[in-house]
């Protein structure tokens, strides 16, 4: 996985800084509560929601078990339809392929459909290094790009910005990227949308190359599918002469019948709509209709490693709806930037450490960025047991060692020995009770636990002594 975000502080430090930002917390609270309330109503309309959820989970698991076969079928279908398939083992190879394809056209500008895969590999930066300007066309991604910012939410990348901040970004930055913001621009949403529309229109009409991702790829026909709400994606997918799509290999579904399940669950779980305003589908190329050249870059970048993990592979079911972010109490307070990845929130806490590994400080901290409340699992439309994967990854991180984990292991060994020796256990309890006045509230070496907690006070006598003295509470005096 790209190192775009690596170098940021580990989650605990980043989260501590984020929770001090009252504006950020207010923006997040308002947005996440609004989205999740609307989602709950949209989901409640379907009496068979749980059956759809189970169907989505089974389709994804079955596809992942036979992913090698379906990817070959997908390549054959895309090729037969006039497209060209490229395989990228990692971010570096994917960036090299895409950059080479753009340079071969002679163009120095591209328009982009919102794509987390291209953010994952740092494609915009790779293109810029070769003198190619990439323009984001999704409204929220445009805000992030103009503000020299990073996305903080899967569905709404600029969720951490309020209307006033967006207005200021448009006023200050639009002119340097193209058409300037209108004079006297207000923070009324319709005015902001109009300003973005005017700014982007000239890019849509001028661009000869577009870059996209995809929500799904149908193996039986080689069809790619993009869900969006604004129509910018369709402009990118139809007007340019060359279309390059960078898609993670896990986005494959076998058939159109399988796709039908996700056409119902993704819109309701993400935008709380019965169906997406724009669902764009394309299969290869066609004379006189759409791009004349289509390239599909199939991205691995750590996905095969995740696939090999019996527990962790369920993260690859994710359909990027963001429902888990909107119900997560940790995300609501810390925001997406604290996760140090293009994939924030609960899904990012289990996906990023599998794609990037757990050797860096930030990736080793992500499995602990959770209260394990389970709200994320309850809303996931493909039933990813995120708490289970978090605990699994915590075990992996602990197995790597480190000062905190070595101390924890030593403490567990001592506790295991004591519990195997009742007499020693009883003696230790009596000693702890008699010296309780001397105990520090925050013992050294355990700051990860006691930084926000005080140790409970010990009773005057151990429970076993009290039980023996009172006859189980019957002989109280």
For residues 324 and 376, is the Cβ–Cβ distance under 8 A?
yes
Give the separation between CA 226 and CA 40, rounded to whole angstroms: 23
Q: For residue 358, what are its two tokens?
A: 């757990």
What pLDDT, on the 0 to 100 scale, is given for residue 4? 44
DSSP letter string, 116-164: HHHHHTTHHHHHHHTT-EEEE-SHHHHHHHHTT-----SS-TTTT--HH
What pLDDT, on the 0 to 100 scale, is given for residue 393? 96
Angle (CA) 355-147-27 rounded to 5° is 80
What pLDDT, on the 0 to 100 scale, is given for residue 402? 64
Please tell me what DSSP assigns to residue 401: -
Q: For residue 221, what are its two tokens?
A: 């026909």
What pLDDT, on the 0 to 100 scale, is given for residue 381? 97
Please tell me what DSSP assigns to residue 296: E
What pLDDT, on the 0 to 100 scale, is given for residue 197? 93
For residues 325 and 344, is the Cβ–Cβ distance under 8 A?
yes
What pLDDT, on the 0 to 100 scale, is given for residue 445? 63
CB-based contacts of 41, cutoff 8 Å, min separation 6: 272
| pLDDT by position in tens, the chain (length 477) | 444 454 578 898 999 899 899 988 998 999 999 999 999 999 999 999 999 999 999 999 999 999 999 999 999 999 999 999 999 999 999 999 999 999 999 999 999 999 999 999 999 999 999 999 999 999 999 999 999 999 999 988 999 999 999 999 999 999 999 999 999 999 999 999 999 999 999 999 999 999 999 999 999 999 999 999 888 999 999 999 999 999 999 999 999 999 999 999 999 999 999 998 999 999 999 988 899 999 999 999 999 999 999 999 999 999 999 999 999 999 999 999 999 999 999 999 999 999 999 999 999 999 999 999 999 999 999 999 999 999 999 999 988 876 566 777 777 788 899 899 999 999 988 998 888 888 877 766 666 666 667 777 888 889 988 998 888 877 765
What pLDDT, on the 0 to 100 scale, is given for residue 7? 54
What pLDDT, on the 0 to 100 scale, is given for residue 446? 65
Cβ neighbours around 216 below 10 Å, total: 20
Give the separation between CA 106 and CA 151, rounded to whole angstroms: 30
Q: In what order do the strands lie in the sheet with 209-212?
A: 84-88, 293-299, 242-248, 209-212, 109-112, 133-136
What pLDDT, on the 0 to 100 scale, is given for residue 6? 47
Please tell me what DSSP assigns to residue 8: B
DSSP letter string, 30-85: HHHHHHHHHHHHHHHT-TTHHHHHHHHHHHHHHHHHTHHHHHHHHHHHHHHTT-EE
User: pTM (2 decimals)?
Assistant: 0.87
Burial class of residue 116 (count of CB atoms within 10 Å of its CB; 0-12, 13-18, 19+) = middle
Give the separation between CA 470 and CA 421, rounded to whole angstroms: 24
């Amino acid at each position: 996985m790209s190192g775009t975000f690596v170098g940021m502080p580990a989650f605990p430090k980043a989260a501590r800084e984020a929770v001090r930002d009252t504006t950020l917390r207010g923006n997040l609270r308002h947005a996440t509560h609004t989205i999740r309330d609307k989602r709950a109503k949209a989901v409640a309309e379907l009496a068979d929601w749980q059956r759809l959820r189970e169907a989505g989970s089974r389709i994804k698991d079955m596809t992942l078990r036979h992913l090698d076969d379906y990817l070959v079928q997908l390549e054959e279908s895309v090729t037969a339809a006039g497209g060209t398939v490229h395989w990228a083992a990692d971010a570096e190879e994917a960036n090299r392929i895409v950059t080479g394809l753009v340079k071969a056209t002679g163009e120095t500008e591209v328009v982009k459909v919102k794509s987390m895969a291209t953010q994952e590999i740092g494609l915009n930066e790779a293109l810029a290094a070769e003198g190619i300007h990439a323009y984001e066309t999704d409204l929220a991604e445009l805000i992030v790009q103009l503000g020299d910012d990073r996305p903080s939410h899967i569905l709404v990348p600029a969720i951490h910005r309020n209307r006033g901040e967006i207005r200021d970004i448009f006023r200050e930055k639009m002119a340097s990227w193209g058409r300037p913001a209108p004079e006297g621009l207000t923070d009324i949403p319709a005015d902001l949308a109009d300003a973005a529309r005017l700014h982007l229109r000239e890019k849509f009409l001028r661009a000869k190359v577009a870059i996209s991702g995809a929500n799904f790829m149908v193996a039986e026909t080689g069809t790619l599918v993009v869900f969006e709400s604004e129509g910018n994606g369709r402009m990118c997918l139809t007007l340019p002469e060359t279309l390059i799509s960078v898609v993670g290999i896990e986005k494959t579904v076998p058939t159109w019948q399988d796709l039908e399940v996700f056409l119902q669950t993704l819109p309701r779980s993400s935008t709380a709509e019965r169906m997406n305003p724009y669902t764009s589908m394309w299969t290869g190329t066609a004379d006189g209709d759409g791009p004349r050249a289509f390239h599909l870059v199939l991205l691995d970048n750590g996905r095969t490693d995740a696939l090999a993990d019996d527990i962790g592979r369920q993260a690859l079911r994710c359909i990027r709806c963001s429902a888990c972010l909107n119900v997560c109490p940790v995300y609501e307070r810390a925001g997406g930037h604290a996760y140090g990845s293009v994939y924030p929130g609960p899904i990012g806490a289990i996906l990023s450490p599998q794609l990037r590994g757990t050797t860096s400080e930030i990736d080793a901290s992500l499995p602990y960025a959770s209260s394990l409340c389970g709200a994320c699992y309850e809303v996931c439309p493909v039933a990813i047991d995120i708490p289970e994967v978090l605990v699994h990854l915590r075990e992996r991180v602990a197995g790597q060692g480190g000062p905190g984990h070595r101390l924890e292991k030593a403490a567990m060994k001592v506790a295991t020995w004591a519990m195997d020796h009742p007499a020693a256990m009883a003696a230790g309890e009596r000693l702890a009770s008699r010296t309780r006045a001397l105990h520090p509230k925050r013992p050294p070496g355990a700051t990860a636990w006691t930084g926000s907690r005080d140790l409970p006070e010990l009773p005057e006598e151990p429970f076993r002594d009290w039980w023996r003295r009172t006859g189980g509470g019957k002989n109280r005096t």
